Structure 1
Amino acid sequence: MKMKQKLEVTSSRPYSIFLGVGLEDLGAYLEKELGGIEHLLIVTHPRVKEHYLERLINGFSAFQCDVLVVPPGEEEKSLERLSKLTSEAVACGADRHSVVLALGGGVIGDLAGFFASVYMRGIRFVQIPTTLLAQVDSSIGGKTAVNHPSGKNLLGAFYPPLVVWTDFSTLETLPWEEVLNGLAETVKHAVLGDAALFSFLETNQQKIIDRIPEIYQELTSRSLQVKVRVVMEDEKEKGQRMLLNLGHSFGHALETEAAYQGISHGKGVSIGMIAATYLAEARGLITSAEVKRILDLVKGLGLPIQIQGKDPEILLHLMEADKKNQKGQKVLILPDKIGHALVVRDACDEEILQAWNKVIIK
């Protein structure tokens, strides 16, 4: 089994990230490195099941495998779906020695990870990210969650996986809309923590649009390294890890307002990042020249910088449920230059509304 790249995440429960490995090789790794596993519970998405489940299961001859299929959509990250997974797992005979495999994108990873964290008070799980968003962001860092009508990811846990197993070939069947979701998180990582990555994205815009595999492997590796670095400094999001939420305070409000339908996470992050950048510019934190570079890159990749027909007052209210907020004060992440961002705790509603108005088309 050839390993192209391996990264180690040191945390309360250390784990490895393997990049460029084959889905069919995971079974041999689990058997050799972990041992004592008999039952695998694969949680996946219908499209992913169609394309990749057979390859994955081909490596699991030593295990009993059961497959739980979750319908597509962010709305499936819910307590209702969590309850259904529990019933299905019990029917499959899953016990405290079973291992959950999250085969899919961010929704599957968040949902299956949270399910694993609470089923029988916690069982082991593996992240197998099949989308660009999951590969560069959501499979890393141990965050698991489901949504609530009051806000996104309000119910969750820090629950690191046993391992993250990334096969780049899964990107070949990924719809462009899903690629954009991952590119939004990649640009976010570049803006908050890696100016050289930002320049790489600028230089290779057309190759990214043309979906050149080598470019995606490099941007994936470089993007997740930003996240790994920040996560290892602050596993439980007490301080610096909040920087990874650049664009999310605004973006989650958009997703919540739309009841998790009609606007993807990546598009919410993209618009939210632009709103945060405008707010930073209004405060004099970032130069107009750097704002233009950010706008040009986001637009050049085909990501949105505006949204139509939203009420900024409603969105402002929805931001009150953000988990970063402290003592009733909205906490925002703002870029002060390309490659660096700040945690801002004194943002007032008026300037937030002004930022919203710059990204909302009347």
Structure 2
Amino acid sequence: MNTIIKQRFSVPFEYPVCFSENIFDPENRSFAAILEQGKQVKTFFVIDSGVAESHPDLIQNIQEYAKAYESIFYLCAEPVIVPGGETCKNDPSVYEKIVEATHIHGIDRHSYIVAIGGGAVLDMAGFAAAISHRGIRLVRVPTTVLSQNDSGVGVKTSVNSFGKKNYLGTFTPPVAVINDFEFLKTLDDRDWRSGISEAIKVALIKDLSFFEWLEENAIAMADRQMEPMQKQIIRSAQMHLDHIAGKDPFEFGSSRPLDFGHWAAHKLEHLSNYRVRHGEAVALGIALDSTYSYLKGMITKGELDRIITLIQNLGFELYQPELSGENLLKGLKEFQEHLGGQLTIMLLEKLGKGVEVHEMDHDLILQAIGMLQEWNALAPTKH
């Protein structure tokens, strides 16, 4: 006898993405309001080492804030400081340290892990939270442009393994995301501009008007003007959230339009031993796939020129030596493996509209790389 019982249920997800400043000033109730449950809750903080160094009073501010709102939450242990960047995702002992802390301090599914840092730290801490007790509540406090406008507002957690980016991970929505613009003021120029590449990405595949806005404000953002940067972050975050709420938030299929420019970016990061930062690699990946789109006759030379000009006006390089040779092409196969099915690459049909393809011409990829190398030599970055 063959018997099949089909199970079906749905679980709604909802979480706020807040934009604020000085969130650990006792006069700012935003953070405490996120944790408020009518009873005192246990919290454990994970802090990016770069953030801790740039904000030496941060831990003291957190402790004083906790005292001010002790009826809402308390610190179960001293915050743990973890290395920032891909280092924390490459070394398993880092996320294991957080998992161990959940055991030592009795951090359970009704407690909160609060991760403060760039996208890599948020990915890693989110992974540790997701696999402990099958999911401890996570509050993300992104501190870079890239994590505030893209990676920090989404539902992914991950660490790197087997030499592959994000090989281990989960889809686990946070309880809340709190973007504190004050953290951006201490970023170096590379990290300041790096995250803008994700805004270019989403604008190119979804919204011509946003792309035009980026063109108009590129120089101002490169010059570290805060107002346009804040507007860019909020608009980009909204577009990423709108996409996540669409048809396939947990990416069961092979369609991943928000990975425009990322197949090459992920491989470039690894080939450079993460000397090239994620946002820088994405900018280069966008330039590569846009040039490829032009060589395939999908966009005009004028459209390509606008994309390249925007990328250069923001201060990005168009070429890195790791792009040479066949090693980059291995990234296509690895990307397909990461998708878990058919190769699906987002290219451009026109500015503001992406189109998916299922194969790439290796000769044209190499030709596109050559063009980027030539342009980079002729027109060095301005910032």
* Alignment-derived partner of residue 135 in structure 2: 122
Shift of 1:166: 1.1
**Whole-Å separation in 2 of the counterparts to 1:119 and 1:283:** 47
Residue among 260, 271, 285 paired with 1:257:
271
Change (3 A) 1:35 1:344: farther
Q: For 2:322 and 2:196, how far apart are their aligned partners in 1?
A: 25
Change (3 A) 1:350 1:226: same
Alpha-carbon distance in 2 for matches of 1:226, 1:272: 20
Question: Is 1:28 aligned to residue 43 of structure 2?
Answer: no
> Which ranges in structure 2 are unaligned for 5 or more consecutive residues?
1-10, 378-383
Deviation at 1:309, TM superposition (A): 5.0
1:44 equivalent among 47, 56, 64? 47
Shift, 1:56, TM fit: 3.7
Kindly provide the amino acid, as one letter, of the partner of residue 250 in structure 2. Answer: K
Report SS of the residue matched to 1:164: strand
* More moved, 173-182 vs 57-66: 57-66
Matched, 1:58 2:79: no
- Residue 3 of structure 1 corresponds to none
Cα drift, residue 171 of structure 1: 0.9
* 3-state secondary structure, aligned to 1:19: strand
Are the equivalent residues in 2 in contact too, given 1:309–1:360 (CA < 8 A)?
no
Query: Quick check: 1:42–1:65 contact (8 Å CA) kept in 2?
Result: no
Residues 1-362 of structure 1: pairs in structure 2 closer than 5 A: 12-24=12-24, 25-32=29-36, 34-36=37-39, 38-50=41-53, 51=55, 52-61=58-67, 62=70, 63-66=74-77, 67-78=79-90, 79-233=92-246, 234-238=248-252, 242-259=256-273, 261-322=274-335, 323=337, 325=339, 327=341, 330-360=343-373
| Alignment CA distance shift 1:142-1:336 (3 Å) | same
| Partner Cα distance (2:255, 2:244) in 1 | 6
8 Å CA contact 1:280–1:335 kept in 2: the answer is yes
Whichever residue aligns with residue 292 of structure 2, its letter is: L
Count matched residues. 350
Amino acid in structure 2 at the alignment position of 1:49 = A
Confirm or deny: 8 A CA contact 1:249 1:272 kept in the other structure: yes
Would the aligned equivalents of 1:235 and 1:241 in 2 still touch at CA under 8 Å?
no
Q: Percent identity at matched positions?
A: 31
Aligned counterparts of 1:69 and 1:112: Cα–Cα separation in 2: 11
- Say whether the 8 Å CA contact 1:132–1:220 is kept in structure 2: yes
Aligned-pair distance for 1:21?
Answer: 4.7
- Taking a change above 3 Å as real, the CA distance of residues 91 and 202 of structure 1, as seen in their structure-2 partners, is same
Query: What displacement does 1:60 show?
Result: 1.9
- Aligned residues of 1:230 and 1:241 also touching (Cα < 8 A): no
State the SS of the aligned residue for 2:360. coil
CA contact (8 A) 1:39 1:94 kept: yes
How far apart, in 1, do the equivalents of 2:254 and 2:321 lie? 33
Query: How far apart, CA to CA, are the structure 1 residues paired with 2:155 and 2:49?
Result: 24
Q: CA RMSD in A?
A: 2.3
From the CA coordinates, give the structure whose radius of gyration is larger: 2
SS at match of 2:154: coil
Tell me by how many angstroms 1:231 deviates: 0.9
Q: Is the 8 A contact 1:254 1:315 kept in 2?
A: yes
Tell me if the contact between 1:310 and 1:360 (Cα under 8 Å) persists in the aligned partners.
no
Q: What TM-score comes out, normalization by structure 1 length?
A: 0.89
**Normalised TM-score (structure 2):** 0.85
